[in-house]
Structure 1
Amino acid sequence: MGGYPNPMWTGPPVGETPFTHETVRRDLALLERRGELSRVHGGATTPQAPVGEEASFTERSGALAAEKQAIGRAAAGLIEPHQTVVIDVGTTALEPARALPADHAGVIATPSLLVAAEVSPGPRVEVLVSGGRLRPGDLACSNAQAVQFFTDLRADAVFVGSGGLAPYGLTDFHLDEVATKRAMLANASHRYVLTDSTKVGRTAAHRVCELSGFDTLLTDTPCPADLRTALDRAGTTVIVA
């Protein structure tokens, strides 16, 4: 296999068999759940490698759940009563909706039916859904209708999800949704990007914006030096939840 997949592993306890197919499969599965690698045919790759296809919603929901919740709580703490707030699609972007207080008052606009379902029970929340073509899994709306919806909406704050974040900029997997994200960012007073550590240093296929295209990054781990330098140059604030 060309080496054990976890560089911090120092070997099995004395008396144990170093490698078996069963232990390797088990440990690879554990590291993948932690977001430390992605299994591929014939081996594994680190999460910093470029990626061409997004994992399913179910797979992403089970990865780094506690870290995403921490990001969500930090984001929800930035939302003030009676604001108009845009919340994007994705498993990390879903967490601010879940973390809002039950008595929150304000307008929540979203292209995500999952976000809409989370916030709709709030008796003092007005929910606006963009409409458009629905993508299964994330239940995300996109197309010209969604873009026009966010172009015509002036928001106090927007919380955008991420397919990848690198010195190159913010990227996403879904071409149809890039224009929607750009419209969200262009028409909000405060622009936040939510990125769990599996997305940091990665680049998805489609660029959304440069690092100067948003004000604040919320993540669960300190950024690598090259990315932190690029964020500093862009004047972007980093909050580690």
Structure 2
Amino acid sequence: MKVAKRRQAMLDAVLSGITSIEALCQHFTISEATARRDLGALSDQGLLVRTYGGAAAHIGHREPELTLEQRRTRQGDVKARLADCALGCVEDNDTVLLDGGTTTAALAARLNERRGLHVVTNNMAALPCLTQLPEGHTTVLGGDLRASSMTVYGPLAHAALARLTVDRLFLSADGVTELGLCEASPEQAWLKEAMIARAAEVYIMADATKLGRASQQHWTAFPPHWTLITDATDARIDRFKALGATVLHPTA
């Protein structure tokens, strides 16, 4: 593979979440020295940021936001596996807070397998799955509708959260890096922060393509202790463990 073509492919790989030197060497069957030279060249062009042991997408490098339908079909089988893993963390009679997103909506579709749940959500796309919770009920956070993601946000959502506490919070994000959770708007990032403050346990559901992805510019910091539910098994996991994460993997 010619150098220019390989470096473009490497940039695409970093943007898709393959961010460690080890993973890039394995992906492209190249030496560590070659990978470092390529990353250095891409960094010099301002296309990515070098990190300890790898690289990350350039902060402020934004990608077009996917439509809700595009999100639904992307990594659908993986999202179903992540939802199955997340369901194992939910017990009967829990109060569960579901963030927006198609991955959390996949979990919503499984919650009728538990009894007595109180589900709180800003995820309008998940509501059809929450109409028949056995012995349970659903609270919808008020606010302004964000049609591109079918979520609600804003002062009314924050006011409702201020009067609630939950046992378990399940979050999604456009990207998950050492900086925290990456989102397209400040309102989304702020609401996630408020959700974290009201939860006893925080779970972040992110498939392997989301890890290391910094496609947007608004951020929510991780809490001191949290759980990452992901199908990724490479060296990126160690960096999140160092940031307080317990990591859960779905079964194959």
SS at match of 2:193: helix
State the TM-score, normalized to the length of structure 2.
0.73
Runs of 4 or more, structure 1, over 6 Å off, are 4-7
Evaluate the alpha carbon distance shift between residue 82 and residue 103 of structure 1 in structure 2; reply closer, same or farther with a 3 A threshold. Answer: closer
Structure 1, gaps ≥5 residues long: 8-30, 38-44
Could you give the per-residue CA deviations for residues 52-110 of structure 1, whole angstroms, max 9, x where no partner exists? 13211111111110000100111111111111110110111111111223453210000
Report % sequence identity: 24
Determine which structure has greater relative contact order: mean sequence separation of CA pairs < 8 Å that are 6+ residues apart, divided by chain length. Answer: 2
Is 2:221 aligned against 1:209?
yes
Distance 1:95 1:145, change over 3 A: same
SS in 2 for 1:220: coil
Residue 181 to residue 214, structure 1, CA distance change in 2 (3 Å) = farther
Matching of residue 187 in structure 1 with residue 175 in structure 2: no
**Alpha carbons of structure 1 residues 214 and 185: separation in structure 2 relative to 1, 3 Å:** farther
Q: TM-score, normalised by structure 1?
A: 0.76
- Distance in 1 between residues matched to 2:224 and 2:185, nearest whole Å: 18
Candidates 139, 160, 185, aligned match of 1:174: 185
1:238 is matched with: 247
1:165 partner SS: strand
Aligned residues of 1:150 and 1:180 also touching (Cα < 8 A): no
Residue 151 of structure 2 is aligned to residue 140 of structure 1: yes
- Distance in 1 (CA, whole Å) between partners of 2:173 and 2:224 is 13
Contact 2:161 2:195 (8 Å CA) reproduced: yes
Q: In the alignment, which residue of structure 1 is the partner of 2:41? A: none
- Structure 1 CA distance for aligned equivalents of residues 153 and 104 of structure 2: 16
153-162 vs 55-64, which moves further: 55-64
Larger helix fraction of residues: 2
SS at match of 1:93: helix
- CA distance in 1 between counterparts of 2:92 and 2:113 reads 12
* Aligned partner (choices 60, 64, 72) of residue 75 of structure 2: 64
| CA displacement 1:171-229 (0-9 Å, x = unmatched) | 2112111121111111111110111122111123111113x455100011224x3x433
Do 2:111 and 2:133's aligned partners in 1 also have CA atoms closer than 8 Å?
no
Equivalent of 1:149, from 150, 153, 160?
Answer: 160
Superposition map of 1:1-241 within 5 A:
3=5, 49-50=57-58, 51-52=61-62, 53-102=64-113, 104-203=115-214, 204-210=216-222, 212-223=223-234, 225=235, 227-241=236-250
Amino acid in the other structure paired with 1:160: L
Between the aligned partners of 2:212 and 2:113, the Cα distance in structure 1 is 35
Tell me the C-alpha RMSD between the 2 structures. Answer: 2.7
User: 2:112–2:134: 8 Å Cα contact kept in structure 1?
Assistant: no
Alignment size in residue pairs = 205
Instruction: Provide the residue aligned with 2:38 in structure 1.
Output: none
CA distance in 1, matches of 2:141, 2:107: 18
Shift of 1:151: 2.2
Rate the CA distance shift 1:109–1:96 in 2: closer, same or farther, 3 A.
Answer: same
| Structure 1: distance between partners of 2:178 and 2:194 | 22
- Alpha-carbon distance in structure 2 between the residues aligned to 1:148 and 1:214: 25
